[in-house]
Amino acid sequence: MTKHVVNSQPQAVLSPEIKSKMRQLPVFFIALSLMLWSCGPEQAPILRFDHAAVVSAHPLASEVGASILKAGGNAVDAAVGVHFALAVVFPQAGNIGGGGFLVTRDEHGAAHSIDFREKAPAAAFREMYLDEFGEVIPDLSWKGHLAVGVPGSVAGMWAAHDSLGSLPWADLLQPAIDLAALGFALTAKEAEALNEKIDRFRTYNTRPALWWEKDVWQAGDSIHLPDLARTLSYIRDLGPAGFYQGPVADSMIAEMQRGQGIMTHEDLLAYDAQWREPLRGSYRDCEVISMGPPSSGGVALLQLLELVEPFPLSSYGFHSAEAVHLMVEAERRVYADRAKHLGDPDFWPVPVAGLLQPAYLQERMKSFSENAATPSDSIFAGNPLVLESTETTHYSIIDAQGRAVSVTTTLNGGYGSGVLVGGAGFFLNNEMDDFSAKPGVPNAYGLLGAEANAIEPGKRMLSSMTPTIVTRHDSLLMVVGTPGGSTIITSVFQNIINIVDFNMGMNVSVSAPRFHHQWRPDQIDYEKDAFDPKVIQVLENMGHKLSIRGPIGRVDAILVLPGGSLSPGADPRGDDWSSGY
């Protein structure tokens, strides 16, 4: 008996007028695709929509979501359409071969979350990435077939739609199928990303594929993905059974066998998405709703907000030395807790309630000095009471009824493991790297872990994904999230503070330069132009070490303005795009 069955319940029927509009979408998407590569992805300055809005990492995916909302779909329907469209047009992170987390809130305030994080295969074991001397083998958990966890995206989208969707599943997948079959044009950023990975594709793949048939991709090159279109058609017609069973599953396991991977048919059949209670906390006059373990994002975000709330951030000023110092000191304490205490709650007693206790957090800040940095070597995880990549992508959606969806999904590294399923056309994740291959040894993002996140069969690896919904006085205020590996938590943290404390608009907030600290390594990473030189000097005098780096995150968010109109923020660091009506 399988866990994955096709929903036999009656579903909404589209009117002939709406069906006609949906059939016209492929032509529109092709035209938009050509416009984007020829003119660049810069958006017109449309900063608000009256009824509904979508912000995602790719213009074509955002337009798919907006078209579903216009056709009468709700926010969950749009999320399904956006998710599968991203699997086509944004393959470095959009996926059916990965996983993620979904947080949703309806117009009455009821909130839910779905954990569709990948799982370790049944043949996984604690020392699988160590050599005979007990040392971590470089890249073994990061590249190739042995890095792959059991994918959760299809099961997660199905679970959300089965309970909360309104339009027929098949209609929501059709735009993605059309994009794969009819083709789309690469943007400059997509071409650059592909060119960076072609050597890895050729090293770790067992079958030829379109993605690495060229030596150099350029903006405007057309991509047609018939294998992926066929795979998506199975999912359209059979639901999860079209992915976890049948020809697509056979292709995945054949790929595993060719590349000495360990995932099996039994692993695929055993996968299930989990409904979990979302975490709720407060910050100033707002309620913050986010994802609980095995995401570390919600716990860490609520800890950070609680730690800084007693301080007058608004009077300090945006990116002042005082504000940055305070936020960094909170971050180093929270990431120390993350390393020790957080993991899959089905396998480890994660002390969520203890980590969020105000008294515990007050104790964590007793060593804080307003005038000097606290060396990370002197910071350790606390002892709470047991009361209870950077290639990820995020999309935020609000529909006309005020329902909100925040989804962060990932393959982990760019294009995941680099393995494309031969004959099926999609990339597989490298999420096994998010386990602690060896306690105390950092993963690809420099994050440390301990026993709570050790490898075990069937276990979900710890994540930093932080899909979040914020309300004020019981009314929806914002939907926010970002990719960025270990920087996800701090990017969401900064954007909430930008809105609540510094009164920024959403477009200004997501565009503002960012910084990050994660306990170890003991340094503040910051984007170019993030800090005034005088601020840098003050921070260095306090004892902080600073390191300039490239872009941090790609925040996609929506702010509800007074009066109810929607102001989206699409991060200019990527091809991110907002759409709506």
- Which residue numbers are catalytic? 392
- The phi and psi torsions of 16 (rounded to 5 degrees) equal -55, -35
Buried b (16+ CB within 10 A) or exposed e, 128-167: bbeeeeeebeeebbbbbbbbbbbbbbbbbbbbbbbebbbb
Helices (H), 134-285: 153-164, 169-182, 188-204, 226-238, 241-244, 246-258, 265-270
Q: How far apart are CA 241 and CA 458, in angstroms?
A: 20
> What tokens appear for 13 in the block?
């029927």
Distances (CA, A) of 353 to 114, 116, 166, 565: 20, 23, 35, 36
Structural element, H or E, at residue 570: strand 566-570
Structural element, H or E, at residue 184: strand 184-185
**Which of these, 408, 394, 409, lies nearest to 95 by C-alpha position?**
409
> What tokens appear for 45 in the block?
């300055």
Q: Write the DSSP string, 79-114.
A: HHHHHHHHHHH-TTT--SSSEEEEEEE-TTS-EEEE
Label residue 534 left, alpha or beta by phi (over 0 means left) and psi (-120 to 50 means alpha): alpha
